[in-house]
Structure formats: structure tokens, C-alpha cells
Amino acid sequence: MNSSIARYPSLTLRNMKLSFHTYLRLEQELLRLEKVYQKMIKLKSLLCSIGLKRLVKTQLVTLQ
């Protein structure tokens, strides 16, 4: 690896810059997806609670 760095220092530096920018973009995308995932979990919880409330209401109606 050291021999390739000695032969192509600018190429390695360019790759490192690209890798760093790619890493930053991926990190930002990961943070965005984590926020979306948290919203989906909240929505799922809300939908489950609504579904349970409706189920309880229909069960109460059928019992009466």
C-alpha cells in the first residue's frame, strides 16, 4: 500500500477526498433515514392504537 501511495500521491489524495465526501453524504442520508424510521414507528404506534380502539368499540357494540 505504501508503494502505491508513493507512486500516485495525488490519486490517493483525490480518492480520499471523494471517499470523505461520499462518507459525509452517506452519513447525512443515514440521519435522514433514521428520522423517517422514527416517524414510521410513531405512525405505526398511532395506527395500532386507533385500530385497537376501533376493535374495542366494535366488541362492545357486539356484546350489547
C-alpha grid cell, residue 40 = 414510521
Per-residue model confidence as pLDDT tens digits over 27-50: 999 999 999 999 999 988 888 888
C-alpha grid cell, residue 32 = 435522514
Round to the nearest angstrom and report the end-to-end CA distance of the chain: 78
Q: How many CA atoms lie within 13 A of 46 on its CB side?
A: 6
Question: Residues 6 or more apart from 4 whose CB is under 8 A from it?
Answer: 12
Contact by Cβ (8 Å): 33, 26: no
Total-model pTM: 0.55
Per-residue model confidence as pLDDT tens digits over 13-26: 667 777 888 888 98
Per domain, the residue ranges of the chain are 2-63
